[in-house]
Amino acid sequence: MDSKQIEQLLEKYWNAETSLEEEQELHRYFQTNGVPDTLQETAELFRYFTHEKNKTFTDSDFDKRVTKHIGQRQGGKVIRMTNWFQIARVAAGVLVLVAAVYLIGQEVRKSSPIEIADTETDPQLAFEETKKALLMISKSFNKAQQEVVKINLLNEAQQKIERKSAEGENKPSI
């Protein structure tokens, strides 16, 4: 392959426009010894890529060795923070849970329409409280029934429209 083609491929390579086949062709070219002096730096770069690609990792104690090396270079002791992070995560979760329970309890107490009184000793008061609760449920039930009637009207109208459109499709065209 001549140097003009290689320079064109390199231009495409630096612009990230090469295909995998073209990149492999460049790698093969720069592995040979017949590289011009103007492309020697590029050849060294491609040889480095190939060398690093072929490296394999075989050290099973890599983490320990790196931690020891870092500790020696800095002259200090390496402190593992993973335990503190786990404790902080659990504490944050418990805090959120406690806050949620407290706030929900406050909202329930504020929005409760029925004032709960001591009804165990006075039967008349218990009767009045029960009556209030049943009236409130009755009002809600009546509102729901009105909405159901509206929904039924809509369903009936939809069925009529569907029947008319089905009849229109079945009529023969003149």
Task: State the average pLDDT over residues 12-25.
Answer: 89
pTM of the model: 0.34
Mean pLDDT of the chain: 80
Tell me how crowded residue 163 is: count the other CB atoms within 10 A of its CB.
10
pLDDT at 73 (0 to 100): 66
**pLDDT band (50, 70, 90) for residue 78:** low
Burial class of residue 39 in the structure, from the number of CB atoms within 10 Å of its CB (0-12 exposed, 13-18 middle, 19+ buried)? middle
- Give one word for 171, left, alpha or beta, with left for phi > 0 and alpha for psi -120 to 50: beta
- Would you say residue 79 has pLDDT above 80? no
The predicted-structure confidence for 108-145, as pLDDT tens digits, reads as follows: 777 765 555 555 677 888 888 888 888 888 877 777 77
- Single-letter amino acid, residue 55: K
φ/ψ bin of 59: left (φ > 0), alpha (ψ from -120 to 50), beta (otherwise): beta
* CA–CA separation, 124 and 83 (whole Å): 61
Give the model's pLDDT for residue 91.
92
| pLDDT above 80: residue 72 | no
* Residue 134: both structure tokens together: 């049943």
The domain ranges of the chain are 3-54, 118-174
